[in-house]
A and B are shown apart, each in its own frame.
Chain A
């Protein structure tokens, strides 16, 4: 086995970056797939799978995904919420494989919300 150099240390650190942005925080984008019963029934599982696949292919290290419950708008499932750092969250509805791919490329990677699929910007007021 090759001996490690200082360069190697940096390479290993870079390689592990995605794993640790997950554990340490400091990610740029967070995609929440709404997986309540309604979401799952409407195909949220497939949306999640495609999304993970897209992230893997793009080698994006600063994007995390998480699941959450029903967003309250069951008729428009599957839904996801995309949050970029320092930007208000954007909710998308009526998704499928193709749409989530487009959203990932345009919004998550590109930073531009995909208006045609977007339902709402911001979040509900909570007390």
Chain B
């Protein structure tokens, strides 16, 4: 028997695979073999580690050293330095941008330091394809406890007491949902998992399914026991092939080992589970539409009541829980409701996973206790703005159903209630950070484009309303906005919210409303002054060179695709407005901040040729 002295946990989440894990792994393995270390050092592929921006990443245990941005070429040196000679290979260590020295240990990196892992407890710690490694981390002990020592009522009580709320967006208490379904009487009930993650910029569910598929399955077994269901379906979008593959492997292993099927743990309880692939329509994340989709029909919502707890899939009582919610279940069963409540706030207990993207330095996946200040997530964990010279402007939370939170509210604690008060929603946990170069009207337009596209068409206010609003926003961005447009947009928003059937229509105007609420001046300056101060809307801006700041370096002059900039050495440059197409290239090129953005320039139009 060979003793393995070191485990190398390489991230094989979608992000790191895309940035090169397979090739780097092959190179590393080859190098270890060449040095005769292959027997004592083992490479394990794990799910998403969360620090996607730095991928491919790898953790070395027992030392707990974190390597990032690994490349094939660096592997021989890494093996020689670290695994042969035992000194961390400085070049691949994480470095904090302001500091020169490298930080080797994972728990010293701010990105990881502020996180508390419950949902992601196994991220980067186990091989997601290994049932044994999941079991080694207390896997299926909660299911065993729930099936052999607890009654369905006991399970529901613990989940209710824990204060766990649905992590898919609406935040409905999970225990209550289970209780309703458990009280419904029927010959068949269904336990369903919602893996139809569709918000732009959100990828926490995909990560859980990829990194720890068994945690979802175990949550479903416990939920099924609580409501008295013998059949379950995991609804995953087909765009998540890796998640589907790992879930399927996990389900197969469970069937083989008797963790799914008849008489689990000799308790007499039977539960079967299958995967259903969704085609990627955003509306299928809505529960009634999702159930119609599983039935093979067109995914469209229907009125509630009857609620799914009474009539859901195939008109049988059903519970639909989000991936992240289900992954929280087994620790709650094992450690109890009190333990769960040690983190978070009274009404928002426990932890929440957020996907950080946008103009932020540390793009990735983070899990934090609820109630943590938004500022801590953005500045400490997220590392602040990607471009240090730019100021933070807003963070968009909750995807197309959410809203934009401005700088002034950045101190709020992140809980369901506090986020809703700002006009955004917790949603599934997407956080898109935007810096000062963002046009908020365009941002609202972007999200509305998404919802207008994804509206299923059933309700007129949503189908037509979002389209009309989108046309108005497009007009505003193109300089065709009129006085009174803002008020009409607000009116329309209220109508669409009040008269749409499902969550999609009821929340689609949120990005518009919240940007009007906090950035009304930007709308006004678009409409009245024809001035997009961020310089994003091409028809509504002009670029000028501040002669006092210009160093006459010629950088903008060379970069301009229109040759619209004139100037020579030691003479401040100038932009010829008639030639400028407002492409921003000069603005992004200038190192001295000498390019300023003004309102749309009045240009001499060329006379049409005489006939």
Do A and B interact with each other, yes or no?
A: yes
Quick one: CB contact mask for B154-189 with A, threshold 8 Å, 1 for yes?
000000000000000000000000000000000000
B91 within 8 A of A: no
Q: Are A6 and B3 within 8 A (Cβ)?
A: no
B239 within 8 A of A: no
List B contacts of A3 (CB < 8 A): 257-258
Q: Are B5 and A56 within 8 A (Cβ)?
A: no
Residue of A1, A9, A52, A68 near B5 (CB, 8 A) is A52
Q: Are B62 and A66 within 8 A (Cβ)?
A: yes
B:568-588 near A, CB below 8 Å = none
Known A-B contacts A22-B62, A56-B1, A66-B6; A16 and B132 likewise in contact (beta carbons under 8 Å): yes
Known A-B contacts A1-B257, A67-B84; A6 and B138 likewise in contact (beta carbons under 8 Å): no
Min CB–CB distance A35 → chain B (angstroms): 5
Q: Which of B140-148, B199-207, B495-503 contacts A (4 or more CB under 8 A)?
A: B140-148
Q: Are B86 and A19 within 8 A (Cβ)?
A: no
A:37-93 near B, CB below 8 Å = 37, 40, 48, 52-53, 55-57, 64-69
List B contacts of A117 (CB < 8 A): none
Q: Which of A32, A33, A56 has the most CB of B within 10 A?
A: A56
Min CB–CB distance A66 → chain B (angstroms): 6
Min CB–CB distance B58 → chain A (angstroms): 13
Residue of A33, A56, A64 near B62 (CB, 8 A) is A64
Min CB–CB distance A105 → chain B (angstroms): 15
Q: Are B84 and A19 within 8 A (Cβ)?
A: no
CA distance A82 to B138 in the complex (A): 31
B487 within 8 A of A: no
CA distance A9 to B132 in the complex (A): 9
The 8 closest A-B pairs by CB, nearest first: A3-B258, A67-B86, A16-B136, A56-B3, A68-B86, A52-B3, A23-B61, A65-B5
List 18 extra interface pairs beyond A16-B136, A66-B6, CB under 8 A.
A1-B257, A4-B140, A9-B139, A13-B135, A16-B132, A17-B136, A22-B4, A22-B5, A23-B61, A23-B62, A33-B86, A35-B86, A36-B85, A40-B84, A40-B85, A53-B3, A66-B5, A67-B84
Residues of B near any A CB (own CB < 8 A): 1-7, 9, 40, 61-64, 83-87, 125, 132-133, 135-141, 144, 148, 256-259, 265-266
Residues of A near any B CB (own CB < 8 A): 1-6, 9, 12-13, 15-17, 19-20, 22-25, 27, 30, 32-37, 40, 48, 52-53, 55-57, 64-69
